Amino acid sequence: MTEAKIETLQYRFDGPEHLPVLILGPSLGTTWHMWDRQVPELAKQWRVLRFDLPGHGGAPAHPAGSVADLTGRLLATLDALGVQRFGYAGCALGGAVGIELALRHPERVASLALVAASPRFGTADEFRQRGVVVRTNGLDPIARTAPDRWFTGGFAAAQPAITEWAVQMVRTTDPGCYIAACEALASFDVRAELGRVGVPTLVLVGSDDQITGPAEARTLVAGIPDARLAVVPGASHLVPVEQPAAVTDLLVHHFSTAWQQPFDTGQTALPAAVAPAVPAPAPVVPAQAAPVAEIAPAAVPAQAGQAPDRYETGLKIRREVLGDAHVDRTLADADEFSGDFQDFVTRYAWGEIWDRPGLDRRTRSCVTLSALVAGGHLEELAAHTRAALRSGLTPAEIAEVLLQTAVYCGVPAANSAFRVAQRVIREETTPAG
């Protein structure tokens, strides 16, 4: 049996080959060019390696649906280059990769910086719905709103070239890879594991970040034993672009003073490598005075337990398929009368049937929609239409399923089902704002 080849990532190096390696990880929807203004200074002390996420910046469009998968691809890339130990700074999704590295491969990480990061990014529902919007409408709606999410209003207005660069960067991303990255963020949750991050860590955040702001940053600092907080004034989510001088100074100071030496000092020499062709760089941000950042010191690891039982497995799958909001409402409504029934549904329907390997979730969604139409269960049909979208079915595929039910369940039943599904699809696929 042939062993599956692990995908690698598109990368580039800057700086002398003999220097220690410092890796810069990008945010969802960006390319390695988001770090352009940091590289000249960092490359004086480190051999800087930047990488692109799959399908971003012209990288091969091989979707990665989990942070662990992305981390594995990065390590495969580093192994091929002979890079054994390194410093790592990552923004948002790139920060999640940094946390994963520190948790699962601590011997590889000498020092860590987490920029606009979080132990859990928003809610799983938010990211899975964003995937539905992209699958239905493409990336244009997400691209047009990117500057509002990434920059403060004053910066976006004063820097139209940067704003347009941000829009085009998202617009040219592969939609399938973007959707997979949304799924990676939806399933990422390391809140219970932060105490096991044993590497010196800088947590850096823009004061005006509305996505992963100071509150999320302080959660990281409170949970990671050796962590420091830096809040950069006048910056939003993409703080390395908006306040490049401040971010550069903070990174230089952190990696210069908090580089943990390995227990075994034997290192594999870094060979010269040829990076792929470099896409057009980002517009240059005018020189700015570096704002003074607030730097403050940090203020139980999860115990290894038994293997998850059917209830725990079922609850996880139920949340992934139906969404946290739906499951929270359902369980909140349970009382002494209905509690045993909800326990039964979670264990048997979700922990047993939906967890069976014989059918994938898309197929199970098709079967479920058909059965609900046949039974006339329109309230459940609404929930499972929403679930089908988040499991990867397109509106056109859902319409085909309902057309099939018109033949085998009757036109009146299908007519009612189309009305319910049409309403849900409009709600779920209409871009926010």
Beta strands in 195-330 (DSSP E): 201-206, 227-232, 294-297
Predicted structure pTM score: 0.80
Judged against a pLDDT cut of 60, whether residue 296 lies above it is answered with no
Number of Cβ atoms within 10 Å of the Cβ of 392: 16
The mean pLDDT of the chain is 89
Give the three-state DSSP class for 208: coil
Give the three-state DSSP class for 17: coil
The predicted pLDDT at position 261 comes to: 79
What is the token pair recorded at 329?
């409402």
- Which amino acid, one-letter code, is at 411? V
Counts for the chain of helices (H) and strands (E), in that order: 18, 8
DSSP tag of 351: I
DSSP bridge pairs for 113: 89, 202
Give the confidence band of 292 by pLDDT, cuts at 50, 70, 90: very low
Long-range contacts of 214-217 (CB under 8 A, 24+ apart): 216/117, 216/118, 216/119, 217/117, 217/118
Where b means 16+ CB within 10 Å and e means fewer, 147-168 reads: bbbbbbeebbeebeebbebbbe
The predicted pLDDT at position 393 comes to: 92
Give the confidence band of 281 by pLDDT, cuts at 50, 70, 90: low
DSSP tag of 313: H
The predicted pLDDT at position 224 comes to: 97
- What value does the mean pLDDT take over residues 372-386? 95
DSSP bridge pairs for 206: 232
CATH code, residues 11-297? 3.40.50.1820
Closest by CA position to 133, among listed 168, 93, 179: 179
- What value does the mean pLDDT take over residues 111-128? 95
Longest dimension (CA), the chain: 74
What is the token pair recorded at 337?
């009368």
Taking phi first (over 0 means left), then psi (-120 to 50 degrees means alpha), and beta for anything else, what does residue 55 get?
left
- What value does the mean pLDDT take over residues 199-228? 96
Give the three-state DSSP class for 114: strand
Judged against a pLDDT cut of 70, whether residue 267 lies above it is answered with no
Q: What is the pLDDT of residues 391-424, one digit of tens each?
A: 889 999 999 999 999 999 999 999 999 999 999 9
Give the three-state DSSP class for 395: helix
For a pLDDT cut of 90, what percent of the chain falls above it?
Answer: 83
What is the token pair recorded at 158?
């004063």
DSSP tag of 35: G
Judged against a pLDDT cut of 70, whether residue 282 lies above it is answered with no
Judged against a pLDDT cut of 60, whether residue 277 lies above it is answered with no
Scanning the structure block, which residue is given the tokens 């990671």?
Answer: 224
Domain map of the chain by residue range?
11-297, 310-429
CATH code, residues 310-429? 1.20.1290.10
The predicted pLDDT at position 2 comes to: 44
- H-only helix segments in 151-210: 153-158, 160-171, 175-186
Judged against a pLDDT cut of 50, whether residue 358 lies above it is answered with yes
- Helix 378-390 / helix 411-429 crossing angle, nearest 10 deg: 50
DSSP bridge pairs for 89: 24, 113
- Which has the minimum average pLDDT: 59-68, 211-220, 289-298, 307-316? 289-298
The predicted pLDDT at position 171 comes to: 97
DSSP bridge pairs for 111: 87
- What value does the mean pLDDT take over residues 104-122? 97
- What value does the mean pLDDT take over residues 223-252? 97
